[in-house]
Amino acid sequence: MRQVRVLNRTRERSLGERVGLADRYWSRLRGLLGRPEPGAGEGLLITPSSGVHMYGMKYALDVLLLDSSGRVVALYPNLAPGKRTKVHRQARAALEVPVGVIDDTNTEEGDVVEWGVPEAAEEHVARSTLILERG
């Protein structure tokens, strides 16, 4: 699975340095199910997605739902196993990160999130719309 670096551009804070990109049917379907709990700097970016569920999960996650421009439309800190987010019609991607990332980065609804490949992230951070258009 390809990895991306995810940045809260509004706050200039890293949301993850090694975030898996789930942009294919099977990778979106599986998500983090059956995988070890993500460590610091890890997570999963699911695109397209208008919401997620935690059915079958063994650990909680922080979940951010993003629109087509990368703007945070909803936050679900500490989403527990067996729970789910609401479906947000304007959401086009879901970012799943370890519990505490939302609080640690002071991320709020309305913040703009960008992502790109880690090697090129300093030179070029791909706008979220470029990836979302593929989905």
* Residues 14-32, mean pLDDT to the nearest whole number: 94
Domain with 84 in it: 3-132
Q: What is the mean pLDDT of the chain?
A: 90
pLDDT tier at 118 (50, 70, 90 boundaries)?
A: low
* Residues 64-69, mean pLDDT to the nearest whole number: 97
Tell me what percent of the residues of the chain surpass a pLDDT of 70.
Answer: 87
pLDDT tier at 104 (50, 70, 90 boundaries)?
A: very high
Choice between 132 and 13, residue whose per-residue pLDDT is larger: 13
Choice between 124 and 45, residue whose per-residue pLDDT is larger: 45
pTM: 0.86
Total structural domains within the chain: 1
pLDDT tier at 1 (50, 70, 90 boundaries)?
A: confident
What are the distances in angstroms from CA 14 to CA 6, 7, 17, 18?
6, 5, 7, 10
User: What is the Cα–Cα distance from 46 to 133, expressed in whole angstroms?
Assistant: 13
* Residue 123: pLDDT over 60: no
CATH label of the domain that carries residue 37:
2.60.120.1140
